[in-house]
């Protein structure tokens, strides 16, 4: 097992040395094609992070973007594969795939399993994260994606209260109206600590229908072997997981000016048992599982977008409907320390989300005409409306021999957001760009608890209902200076927010000190950076530094065993990010990135979950150092081509909660992908060998504590090897 030094300088030193050698190689290489046909320049990455197409390098904020082809080449299929390539971002897997969360720049999820998340997830224009009650956290399959974009820092101006610390955007490939084509793949693999095989199947079809209409289907089925055994029953690999993803996109280009795009997406997930271990040992064995466990998740998206384009601007009307469901059962016997008593307890959750959003925006196609103040503006201006009905009923079954009992409860919330936003960019004095943005929002949440005790599930308790209303304005100001064609400096200030919510009066009382509602929290992000290019765009080297103030933090508290959220404390985050992309010549290229992040509380406060928290306490799930380095190779001869990709990623040590009751160790990961393609054979077969976590690092990536008696951890996914065959037609 590879271990960094305790000072965590080893990965930084390696990254710096690799960066220096890479730059030296790049500077010694030619700016024209080499004998192997290498690219002359790095490809421009076009993103839609500002709700209009722009080069990533022209946006005054930190963005990591990965093309679908790049993700496919390294065998990426889900969110964990993307996050480990994104310094400054970490993923907290939770105990099931439907409860994973992402942190960006140290802004943690200390509201845990109760409140909304700090990082948004978006499928095109659809927000996938609940604004109030935690629901399914969709891990969208990356099959046939155009790009997956990771936006760092507050994104409230354009994406609202679902993107406090950043956003992850999935942008699918659109139907191509020109020609019919498709692809298919099938794979079989193994996982360390498992006797079962893993399987993958995917299919893509692009079908033009006439000259103005087209369909595109993409789907994938993934069966992953489990790696945790049950000590009591003797059953092995109990946490096997299956996901099914399918989407159908339709495009109608009615005229040169008017087009309509329709989307249907459905993804399901099934896991056989929760992926946690009792205690903090990482032996991949459940010691105290007495009852059956499962989690079934499902989310569906229906979308209809209409575009009308003129010479100067495009009018976009984007409408989306999202349904999410989760049905789960967890064995709480160990949590309640009842092992050996003959009493067992399980808990069922059945959260649902029914959400619709509608957005009308006008996006410029060219800078405004004229001189002076009113000339040379690019703009995006929009109106937004979202309504989200959320439920989270729960049932606790106490299995006492001869006297079983059932207790029901849970909560519900209806949240709405109305907003108007703008994003304006003006070019002036030849080398300067000014970016101004803002979002005025008005949000309201009505909610409460279900009747507790026995009886029927999901009956609202009218005495617990409460209403939260908030409105505010989130500004953004950025300035870019293009010193020349190769060097750009930028600085920015962005403010973001996260939805508030309802605790419900059933747990809110003067005696317990539990508030009926909790307010939105906010971030102020200050950033400076420089983007540079060298050797005719064969090398990109970028650097950014940022400072974040987090106020009115949403922190999970407890009144007995009941969890709730309150606004307490402040935090300060400072950090630096570095990235280098380079074409090395002779078919080699590299991508290196590293981030340093110092995230700490800024004032003393008392946490009902973690006790007294002094100023300067590290925020949970916020490692100081994260980084990744990728070396790729591509060559061809006769009728074949060979591609290879070696990736190293590092995550530093961190804490599981504010009290750091379960310290989380640092770890390294090494991934390898090699493929051989036959270019002139029918269906262009390509054989891929993909290995993830080759050294089989076995560490806890998430820890949960209840008082001083109960600790539980979830683990890094063990080594995976996959052999995959791709076909094009």
Q: What are the tens digits of pLDDT across the range 615-665?
A: 999 999 999 999 999 999 999 988 999 999 999 999 999 999 888 889 999
Given pLDDT bands bounded at 50, 70 and 90, which one contains residue 257?
A: very high
Answer yes or no: is pLDDT of 726 > 60. yes
Considering Cα of 271, then 272, then 276, then 281, what sign does the dihedral take?
A: negative
In angstroms, how far apart are the furthest CA atoms of the chain? Answer: 85
Encode pLDDT of 670-705 as tens digits: 999 999 999 999 999 999 999 999 999 999 999 988
**Two structure tokens written together for 478:** 């950025």
Of the two residues 588 and 20, the one the predictor is more confident about is 588
Q: What is the predicted pLDDT for the residue at 372? A: 79
- Of 535, 585, 486, 641, the residue nearest 39 (C-alpha): 585
Answer yes or no: is pLDDT of 12 > 80. no
Encode pLDDT of 369-421 as tens digits: 888 788 889 999 999 999 999 999 999 999 998 888 898 888 899 999 999 99
Q: What is the predicted pLDDT for the residue at 540? A: 95
Given pLDDT bands bounded at 50, 70 and 90, which one contains residue 32?
A: very low
Q: What is the predicted pLDDT for the residue at 314? A: 97
Number of Cβ within 10 Å of residue 310's Cβ equals: 10
Answer yes or no: is pLDDT of 560 > 50. yes
Number of Cβ within 10 Å of residue 1's Cβ equals: 9
Check: pTM over 0.75? Answer yes or no. Answer: yes
**Two structure tokens written together for 538:** 């064969």
Answer yes or no: is pLDDT of 31 > 80. no
Given pLDDT bands bounded at 50, 70 and 90, which one contains residue 13?
A: very low
Beta 229-230 vs 285-286: how paired, if at all?
Answer: parallel
What whole-number distance in Å separates Cα of residue 141 and Cα of residue 386?
Answer: 25
**Two structure tokens written together for 720:** 């995976």
Answer yes or no: is pLDDT of 329 > 90. yes
Q: Looking at residue 452, what DSSP letter applies? A: P
What whole-number distance in Å separates Cα of residue 457 and Cα of residue 446?
Answer: 20
| Strand order across the 126-127 sheet | 63-67, 145-152, 166-172, 119-123, 126-127
Q: What is the predicted pLDDT for the residue at 482? A: 95
Run of H or E including 597: strand 588-601
User: What is the CATH architecture of 9-349+356-381+421-728?
Assistant: Beta Barrel (2.40)
Angle of CA points 368, 369, 371, to nearest 5° = 115
Q: What is the predicted pLDDT for the residue at 135? A: 83
φ, ψ (nearest 5 deg) of residue 24: -65, -40
DSSP character string of 46-89: EE-TTSS-EEGGGSSS-EEEEEHHHHHHTT--SHHHHHTTSTTE
172-199 mean pLDDT: 97
Q: What is the predicted pLDDT for the residue at 128? A: 94
What whole-number distance in Å separates Cα of residue 264 and Cα of residue 552?
Answer: 38
58-63 mean pLDDT: 86
Encode pLDDT of 616-628 as tens digits: 999 999 999 999 9
Number of Cβ within 10 Å of residue 565's Cβ equals: 26
Number of Cβ within 10 Å of residue 709's Cβ equals: 9
Answer yes or no: is pLDDT of 38 > 60. no
Q: What is the predicted pLDDT for the residue at 131? A: 87
Q: What is the predicted pLDDT for the residue at 333? A: 95
250-272 mean pLDDT: 97
- Of 47, 58, 90, 173, the residue nearest 628 (C-alpha): 90
**Two structure tokens written together for 191:** 């996982």
């Amino acid at each position: 097992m590879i271990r960094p030094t305790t000072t965590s300088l080893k990965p930084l030193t390696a990254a710096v040395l690799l960066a220096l050698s890479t730059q030296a190689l790049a500077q010694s290489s030619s700016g024209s094609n080499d004998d192997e046909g290498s690219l002359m320049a790095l490809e421009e990455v076009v993103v839609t992070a500002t709700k209009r197409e722009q080069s990533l390098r022209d946006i005054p904020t930190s963005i990591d973007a990965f093309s679908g082809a790049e993700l496919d080449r390294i065998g990426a299929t889900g969110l964990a594969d993307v996050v480990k390539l994104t310094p400054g971002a970490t993923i907290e897997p939770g105990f099931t795939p439907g409860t994973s969360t992402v942190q960006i720049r140290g802004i943690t999820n200390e509201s845990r399993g109760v409140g909304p998340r700090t990082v948004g997830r978006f499928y095109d224009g659809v927000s996938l994260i609940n604004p109030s009650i935690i629901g399914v956290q969709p891990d969208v399959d990356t099959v046939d994606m155009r790009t997956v974009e990771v936006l760092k820092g507050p994104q409230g101006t354009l994406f609202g209260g679902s993107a406090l610390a950043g956003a992850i955007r999935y942008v699918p490939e659109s139907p191509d109206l020109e020609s019919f084509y498709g692809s298919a793949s099938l794979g079989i693999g193994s996982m360390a600590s498992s006797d079962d095989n893993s399987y993958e199947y995917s299919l893509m079809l692009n079908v033009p229908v006439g000259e103005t209409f087209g369909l595109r289907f993409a789907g994938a089925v993934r069966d992953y072997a489990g790696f945790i055994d049950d000590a009591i029953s003797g059953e092995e690999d109990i946490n096997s997981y299956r996901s099914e993803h399918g989407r159908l996109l339709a495009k109608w280009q009615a005229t040169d000016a008017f087009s309509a795009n329709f989307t249907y997406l459905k993804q399901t997930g099934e896991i056989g048992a929760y992926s946690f271990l009792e205690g903090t040992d990482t032996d991949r064995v459940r010691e105290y599982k007495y009852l059956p466990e499962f989690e079934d998740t499902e989310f569906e998206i229906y979308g209809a977008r209409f575009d009308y384009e003129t010479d100067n601007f495009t009018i976009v009307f984007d409408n989306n409907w999202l349904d999410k469901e989760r049905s789960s059962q967890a064995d709480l016997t160990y949590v309640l320390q009842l092992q050996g008593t003959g009493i067992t307890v399980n808990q069922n959750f059945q959260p649902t989300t029914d959400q619709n959003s509608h957005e009308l925006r006008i996006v410029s196609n060219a800078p405004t005409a004229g001189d002076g103040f009113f000339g040379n503006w690019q703009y995006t201006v929009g109106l937004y409306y979202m309504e989200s009905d959320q439920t989270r009923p729960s049932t606790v079954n106490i299995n006492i021999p001869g006297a079983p009992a059932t207790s029901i409860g849970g909560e519900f919330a209806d949240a709405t957001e109305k907003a108007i936003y703008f994003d304006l960019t003006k070019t002036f004095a030849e080398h300067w760009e000014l970016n101004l943005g803002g979002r005025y929002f008005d949000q309201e949440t009505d909610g409460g608890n279900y009747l507790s005790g026995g009886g029927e599930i999901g009956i609202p308790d009218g005495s617990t209902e409460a209403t939260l209303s908030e409105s505010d304005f989130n500004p953004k100001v950025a300035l870019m200076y293009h010193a020349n064609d190769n060097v750009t400096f930028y600085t920015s200030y962005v403010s973001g927010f996260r939805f508030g919510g309802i605790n419900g009066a059933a747990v809110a009382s003067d005696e317990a000190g539990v508030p009926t509602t909790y307010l939105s929290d906010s971030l102020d992000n200050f950033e400076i950076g420089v983007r540079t290019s060298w050797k005719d765009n064969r090398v990109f080297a970028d650097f950014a530094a940022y400072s974040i103030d987090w106020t009115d933090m949403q922190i999970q508290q407890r009144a007995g065993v009941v969890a709730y959220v309150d606004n307490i404390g402040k935090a300060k985050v400072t950090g630096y990010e570095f990235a280098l992309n380079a074409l090395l010549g002779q078919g080699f290229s590299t991508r290196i990135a590293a981030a340093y992040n110092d995230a700490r509380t800024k004032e003393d406060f008392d946490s009902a979950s973690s006790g007294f928290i002094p100023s300067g306490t590290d925020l949970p799930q916020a490692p100081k150092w994260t980084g990744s380095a990728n070396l790729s190779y591509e060559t061809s001869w006769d009728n074949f081509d060979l591609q290879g990709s070696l990736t190293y990623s590092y995550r530093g040590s961190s804490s599981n909660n504010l009290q750091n009751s379960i310290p989380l160790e640092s770890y390294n990961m090494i991934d390898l992908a090699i493929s051989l393609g036959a270019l002139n054979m029918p269906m262009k077969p390509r054989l891929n060998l993909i290995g993830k976590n080759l050294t089989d690092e076995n560490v806890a990536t998430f820890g949960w504590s209840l008082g001083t008696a109960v600790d539980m951890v979830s683990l890094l996914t063990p080594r995976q090897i996959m052999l995959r065959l791709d076909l094009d037609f």
